[in-house]
Structure 1
């Protein structure tokens, strides 16, 4: 294959789907003209992401994402919706029904390798079904996979093949659910090609629709991730994002607390046990994130004097941009209830009767749900 002529042909980056241009290095889709000789062309942003784990800021507005997704409802297709099982609530796409129209939806929980091995897959699927219905979605099937480890990918491929009935398949999800890793696994299993799509820790790495041809002239279509602004990932710097994003199986950390005690999750969030009998609280967070226990009466002062030192992340250089913490209060009516910090993890409260206050940066979502584990 000789060199490509951009005048005659529109070339897309195999990493993020953006149209390649060679004129403006600072703009989206830039690649040096020398790269046009290659079999697989990748834009500068994806190149830096893939080889150096560096992210270049590129602005795609929420409206751009919505325009792309709004087209899906009018097509006859199978929708594969990916959620991050470690951040189920944070990675849920609100209003997914509006996009999909009458198309069937398969729900796939990715990153299942992060949950403790004691969690039985069937119980997890039942829980996902219950949560989906509560959130207004009735999937035709629910599956678990680990894009990173490759678990469950083959079964998911077979099931998608059965359910698509000769239609295109659209893969949707918010940023950082592992969509590109999942699709790379599918491509690798189908063709032996490795890491065709850009994958990273960083939110918002797929910029446009990427079409992967299927056998019957149909396509598997990777859509850009929608940014859920209430996830913690959007409030921390790149280094801290690596700390809060789990990479291996979560080790639950259990605290027996009396009323009037507080847990700090680094300096990113705070959990106050305000009233109730002595209770056991199980924390499911990245193993890298420190949990600091203190007395509730000392918590405000500790946060003021030790944020960025004892309580990290955030690091000192990021304190200026870090929003103040806002408290959300919950009365726990049933045992085995989770308080979920969007994009950070959750705390399971084992007995009813507790009054809890969860503090998060202004803009981060806190929700309550039936316990996952």
Structure 2
């Protein structure tokens, strides 16, 4: 059974509209190592495809992992740690060891203290019932960090050995790379391919759109086992599940984030584009730092004017959303109230996080009802 080398879809030559299509003439000419029509169009023309977020299909594919002795590399995005853990993942992977890879650290300021988030991440892993071996922080675009990951895999699989791709003895079977869509799984695989398997270019299809990997893609780890890239599940509680095109480009940071800090008085409001509204109340001023994409517009105003500004400026000044159609998808909002009495972090899934400092303040958040919002104290 041949599979597309870019996304893992089963190759077929019968229906150009179905996944895995490759023209029969191309198969005859190039053999089994080919890209399907979908991958070709994504890689060469940045074609935008509709994604399939069928959770049942995802879990059906993933549950085979718990039947074997495997090692799991679970990738999460530092900009979405609360939404980065896959619900019920323990039912798919069982008690297999997990190395938690916290990716995209390069987006944060160099003086950012990861200890502010490390305890939260560890507690989330424990809450989800994961057999956590270790946590690694870095960027999978960085070769030194990728080498650190492989060294960790090596230490577990081959004590006192240096390169798993050249050794024979098996301590566990396969190593699976798991995580939500667009956290960097395929980027990690491509880095490993070039660093350890002598691939000249990126083999697996990557793109700013979600779900470029459709099925398992396996590369040899040793004679008897594989390193396996898995499909990405799209978190329905993340803003990115409801945005497309330019909106996605804006909310997903691509480079170093410059925190934007405001000292706010009671009865002031902040808009994050037209996606999130934060009303500040209480008896004390509040210091607010936004760790979000540099491209996301932040608008400050008095709360008394906020309703009219949103009504008149959403899809215009307050973007994203850019269209009425996109706005309608996220129109059904919820109100969440929080009291701030000590330094804390407010996590907005798909947007980033906000650091709040006050001794006596209140914040009301208006946000699409499907989006996860969590608050955690610094200590």
TM-score normalised to structure 1 length: 0.91
> Of 22, 26, 32, which aligns to 1:31?
22
Q: Does 1:175 align with 2:181?
A: yes
Q: Does 1:22 align with 2:28?
A: no
- Give distance in 2, aligned partners of 1:353 and 1:91: 31
Which residue does the alignment assign to 1:99? 92
Equivalent runs, 1:17-96 vs 2, <5 Å: 17-36=8-27, 37-38=29-30, 40-59=33-52, 61-96=54-89
Does the 8 Å contact 2:174/2:227 carry over to 1? Answer: yes
Look up the SS of the partner of 2:371 in the other structure. coil
Q: Residues 82, 334 of structure 1: CA spacing in aligned structure 2 closer, same or farther, 3 A cutoff?
A: farther
Does the 8 Å contact 1:325/1:359 carry over to 2? Answer: no
Cα distance, 1:169 vs structure 2: 0.6
Q: Residues 139, 352 of structure 1: CA spacing in aligned structure 2 closer, same or farther, 3 A cutoff?
A: farther
Does the 8 Å contact 1:125/1:143 carry over to 2? Answer: no
Cα distance, 1:54 vs structure 2: 1.7
Equivalent runs, 1:294-309 vs 2, <5 Å: 294-309=301-316
Does the 8 Å contact 1:332/1:352 carry over to 2? Answer: no
> Of 210, 232, 245, which aligns to 2:239?
232
Q: Does 1:184 align with 2:175?
A: no
Cα distance, 1:167 vs structure 2: 2.4
Equivalent runs, 1:330-345 vs 2, <5 Å: 330-345=337-352
- Give distance in 2, aligned partners of 1:122 and 1:278: 26
Does the 8 Å contact 2:259/2:291 carry over to 1? Answer: yes
Cα distance, 1:130 vs structure 2: 4.0
Which residue does the alignment assign to 1:360? 367
Q: Residues 126, 187 of structure 1: CA spacing in aligned structure 2 closer, same or farther, 3 A cutoff?
A: farther
Does the 8 Å contact 1:348/1:371 carry over to 2? Answer: no
Which residue does the alignment assign to 1:6? none
Does the 8 Å contact 2:51/2:210 carry over to 1? Answer: no
Does the 8 Å contact 2:96/2:131 carry over to 1? Answer: no
Instruction: Note the alpha carbon deviations across 1:327-368, whole angstroms, 9 max, x for none.
Output: 332333552211111111111111243211122223111111
> Of 146, 151, 169, which aligns to 1:153?
146
- Give distance in 2, aligned partners of 1:348 and 1:35: 54
Equivalent runs, 1:122-137 vs 2, <5 Å: 125=118, 128-137=121-130
- Give distance in 1, aligned partners of 2:272 and 2:91: 36
Runs (4 or more) in structure 1 with deviation over 6 Å come to none
Which residue does the alignment assign to 1:208? 215
TM-score normalised to structure 2 length: 0.90
Aligned residues: 363
Deviates more, 1:265-274 or 1:116-125: 116-125
Q: Residues 137, 166 of structure 1: CA spacing in aligned structure 2 closer, same or farther, 3 A cutoff?
A: closer
Which residue does the alignment assign to 1:5? none
Does the 8 Å contact 1:143/1:156 carry over to 2? Answer: yes
Q: Residues 175, 214 of structure 1: CA spacing in aligned structure 2 closer, same or farther, 3 A cutoff?
A: same
Q: Residues 71, 315 of structure 1: CA spacing in aligned structure 2 closer, same or farther, 3 A cutoff?
A: same
Instruction: Note the alpha carbon deviations across 1:174-230, whole angstroms, 9 max, x for none.
Output: 111111111111111112312111111212221111111112321011111112111
> Of 258, 281, 289, which aligns to 2:288?
281
Instruction: Note the alpha carbon deviations across 1:69-119, whole angstroms, 9 max, x for none.
Output: 112112111111110111111222122222221211110001111111112
Identify unmatched segments of 5+ residues in structure 1.
Answer: 1-9
